[in-house]
Structure 1
Amino acid sequence: MSFMNHPWRPTAAAFFVNGAIFGIWATQIPLVKQRLGLDPAVLGLALLTLGGGAVLAMAGSSWLIRRFGNVGLIRGCGAAFCVLLPVTAMAPALPLLIAVLFVFGASGGCMDVAMNAHAAQIERATGRPLMSSFHGMWSLGGLAGAAAGSLLLFVLPGPAQAGMLALLLGALLAWALPHIPVSGGERAPSGHVSLRPEAAALVIGLFMALVFEAEGTVLDWGSVYLRSELGAATEMAGAGYAAFSATMAIGRFFGDKVRQAWGAMAIMRGGSVLAAAGLAFGPLTGHPWLAVLGFALAGIGMSNIVPVLFSAAGRSRHPDAAIATASTLGYGGLLAGPPLLGFVAHATTYGTIFVVAAVMSLVIGLGASSVRWAEKR
């Protein structure tokens, strides 16, 4: 039997590739800034274009899935995502960079929705929770891509690094994709749904937006908070997000077993409380290392909430549309939340934005019963 014949493995490989490309792109951002001489505001606009492309593509991905199928969209968008990675590293001028980043983000966003829709189908077919491990592979890919990309930049210029890694990831995707089982559009029984599908997708998307807002707050403001407000050394400033990412990745590989033993509601409620406590740890203690510990706790708490929400969307009567809608709202929260919290920090303190993020995390636990049909029955 081929290694890839297990239904989990080829789809997990697609999650890994998607996460790895984003990780590699993160290593390219400083090089792009330096090569094109971009100031922070212009660079921020270019990065917003990438996110905008992803969100717009997610909004239209349900129609594309109906036309081409989950696997067809994973194939097409995955190939485009790999090809465009080195193109972003070679863009000679800002207008071309913006155009490439828009398409780059769109291909990654469409691939993301199709992967999650297919993962939900595999969960339904096997009858057991698997979504957390798929997302764990995405996190592992992001860490591997960032690590490999950083190391290769010691010996290769940026475009060569991106081209070589894109080629390797494209080969992995080409090897895995023929083994992904093509499903005929399974649908969950209507008894699993307690809300109209449209309302369910909106509720799930709102919760996703709150989780992604909290993740983005740690990413965008964690280092600034540790350095500027808690007085952490420069070399320690990045430890908060590193700890958060590491515990999130580890937590996802245990999430399916936790969900099978305790249920989705335990993950939603317990995870939201743990995340809220971790986010508030820094402001409550005022100590940089305790704040880092708090970010690590928040990573554990948040690690499996989004996989549970994707599973919930996958159990609706129109899973592809629900996953597309929820993804769009969720990633919209990732784009809009952290910048808006920047205004809060300007009016108060950096610590205040983590208290706000903690309160938003608690809202997820309070509303967990609205997605009770995510439970395995």
Structure 2
Amino acid sequence: MRELCKHVTGKFMINKHLIIASWAPLCAFVVLGCCWGAFAALVPDLQAAIGAGDGELAGVMLIAAIGAITAMRFAPWLDSRLGRYGVVTLCAAALLAFQLPGLMNTWTGLTIAMFLCAASTGSLDVVMNAHLSQIEAHEGRPLMSFHHAMFSFAYAIAAFSTGLIREFGGGAVISFAIIGVFGLLMLPSMVLPKQVELANDGNGTPTSSANRFVVLIGIVIAIAFMAEQAAEGWSALHLERSLGVGAALGAMGPAILGLTMGVGRLGGQAMTQIFSEARVIQIAALFAACGSTLAATAINLPLTYIGFAALGLGISVIAPLGLALVGRVSPADQRVKAISNVALIGYTGFFIGPPLMGGLAELASLSVSFGALSLLLAFISLALIPMLARSFQKD
């Protein structure tokens, strides 16, 4: 047992050298987590400010999602033009965009503001993950799970802190301004150092089975991101509306999700020493489905919190391990292109989750929306992972 622990910690422990090497993208992950954590806790206030129903709020998020997905397609082009200053420039744009939602009191104004927020963060997400992947390859050590965990912890802290600000009479303008000041102080650390250039691996022609694998794992990650963003964006509203709690207790929903996702991401990579990535994803998706079901049907606050905790733990490992699985099984000459395609499919779910949740809430209720998430997560475990296994067998 001691030898196993040494092996696991030696392979996956993050040391000072690795933190320094990946400091620029790490700062971007933290700031991005703070932005979206504050937003999640402020959704009830933003909705009330424009007098919108769930369907109208879903429309805002849908248009924002279109902005994000469009911007993500141009992110590699922007990165090639901005070079070392890509992460810091896009993060500055995101911080500026997040000052806008709290100033809006019309549906059109909030829609434009969220379009800019999603477009800037969508581009930043692609660029910072791409540079982190480059640092991983250069250092020969896994860093993705740790950085995604830091995003989740920052998200949880920002959501909880914003809930306290709301409880004491503060609003969106104050909350986003605090995030803006914090992010401004972090910006100088996001200028990337000169990195060793990696070979261009995109010249290979993928086989049909490889294409099928990329699509399947992309759908798995898309559902995970859909569940993550939908739960984070609507959990505060669900608690405040369904259980009648105040702002601080409502903000505990996204805070618990962020905290448990951070813990799950730190521990999920080590589980692959016992199970394959696909098996861990299958177990995690089923666990998350149970958590979402509990959050949807619980009749009191503690059970709902437990449901959100289980949901966060489950979905936390799906995307990082999915990306790791793609990198492990893809041939060297196809790896960069495969990861890029999977990320594009996956992050589509990240942005369409909230509007889909809002649409279902408008037609039925938020409890039904969380129930639908349960079905999608169960679909990963019961259908998509077995399909991936058959894809391997055909090869």
Interval containing the TM-score (normalised by the shorter chain): 0.7 to 0.9
Residue equivalent to 2:183:
169
Counterpart residue type for residue 361 of structure 1: I
Counterpart residue type for residue 375 of structure 2: V
SS of alignment partner, residue 255 of structure 1: helix
Matches of 1:267 and 1:33, distance apart in 2: 37
The 1:195–1:298 alpha-carbon spacing in structure 2 relative to 1, beyond 3 Å, is farther
8 Å Cα contact 1:268/1:305 also seen in 2: yes
Moved more, 118-127 or 59-68: 59-68
Given candidates 36, 40, 58, the residue that maps to 1:22 is: 36
| CA offsets 1:153-187 (integer angstroms, 9 cap, x no match) | 5475643442233022122132x213555353445
Residue equivalent to 2:379:
360
Is 1:250–2:269 an aligned residue pair? Answer: no
Matches of 1:223 and 1:114, distance apart in 2: 30
Is 1:53–2:98 an aligned residue pair? Answer: no
The 1:196–1:6 alpha-carbon spacing in structure 2 relative to 1, beyond 3 Å, is farther
Residue equivalent to 1:141:
154
Counterpart residue type for residue 50 of structure 1: A
SS of alignment partner, residue 191 of structure 2: helix
Residue equivalent to 2:6:
none
The 1:112–1:344 alpha-carbon spacing in structure 2 relative to 1, beyond 3 Å, is same
Unaligned residue ranges in structure 2 (runs of 5+): 1-15
Moved more, 324-333 or 304-313: 324-333
CA-CA distance at 1:275 after TM superposition: 2.4
| CA offsets 1:208-238 (integer angstroms, 9 cap, x no match) | 222133335544676787899xx85646777
SS of alignment partner, residue 182 of structure 1: coil
The 1:246–1:126 alpha-carbon spacing in structure 2 relative to 1, beyond 3 Å, is same
Query: What are the residue-to-residue correspondences of 1:79-94 with 2, within 5 Å?
Result: 79-91=92-104, 94=107
The 1:344–1:369 alpha-carbon spacing in structure 2 relative to 1, beyond 3 Å, is farther
Counterpart residue type for residue 291 of structure 2: G
CA-CA distance at 1:360 after TM superposition: 1.9
8 Å Cα contact 1:132/1:256 also seen in 2: yes
8 Å Cα contact 1:201/1:325 also seen in 2: no
Matches of 2:236 and 2:350, distance apart in 1: 22
The 1:168–1:354 alpha-carbon spacing in structure 2 relative to 1, beyond 3 Å, is closer
| CA offsets 1:286-310 (integer angstroms, 9 cap, x no match) | 8875554344223222211111223
Matches of 1:224 and 1:25, distance apart in 2: 12
Q: TM-score, normalised by structure 1?
A: 0.77
Given candidates 207, 228, 231, the residue that maps to 1:215 is: 228
Matches of 1:121 and 1:357, distance apart in 2: 32
Moved more, 216-225 or 144-153: 216-225
The 1:202–1:365 alpha-carbon spacing in structure 2 relative to 1, beyond 3 Å, is closer
Query: What are the residue-to-residue correspondences of 1:309-320 with 2, within 5 Å?
Result: 309-312=322-325, 316-318=335-337
Moved more, 282-291 or 55-64: 282-291
The 1:349–1:68 alpha-carbon spacing in structure 2 relative to 1, beyond 3 Å, is closer
Is 1:326–2:326 an aligned residue pair? Answer: no
Query: What are the residue-to-residue correspondences of 1:118-133 with 2, within 5 Å?
Result: 118-133=131-146
Matches of 1:32 and 1:284, distance apart in 2: 26
Residue equivalent to 1:375:
none
Counterpart residue type for residue 211 of structure 1: A
SS of alignment partner, residue 141 of structure 2: coil
Matches of 1:68 and 1:59, distance apart in 2: 16
Counterpart residue type for residue 366 of structure 1: P
8 Å Cα contact 1:133/1:252 also seen in 2: yes
8 Å Cα contact 1:280/1:358 also seen in 2: no
Matches of 2:90 and 2:44, distance apart in 1: 25
The 1:357–1:67 alpha-carbon spacing in structure 2 relative to 1, beyond 3 Å, is same
Residue equivalent to 2:215:
202
Is 1:7–2:27 an aligned residue pair? Answer: no
8 Å Cα contact 2:99/2:177 also seen in 1: yes
SS of alignment partner, residue 129 of structure 1: coil
The 1:178–1:102 alpha-carbon spacing in structure 2 relative to 1, beyond 3 Å, is same
Matches of 1:66 and 1:38, distance apart in 2: 40
8 Å Cα contact 2:214/2:338 also seen in 1: no
8 Å Cα contact 2:49/2:104 also seen in 1: no
RMSD: 4.0
SS of alignment partner, residue 326 of structure 1: helix
Unaligned residue ranges in structure 1 (runs of 5+): 373-377
Counterpart residue type for residue 68 of structure 2: A
8 Å Cα contact 1:275/1:301 also seen in 2: yes
Matches of 2:121 and 2:298, distance apart in 1: 39
The 1:194–1:115 alpha-carbon spacing in structure 2 relative to 1, beyond 3 Å, is farther
SS of alignment partner, residue 111 of structure 2: helix
8 Å Cα contact 1:58/1:109 also seen in 2: yes
The 1:266–1:38 alpha-carbon spacing in structure 2 relative to 1, beyond 3 Å, is closer
CA-CA distance at 1:354 after TM superposition: 5.1
8 Å Cα contact 1:10/1:177 also seen in 2: yes
Residue equivalent to 1:76:
89
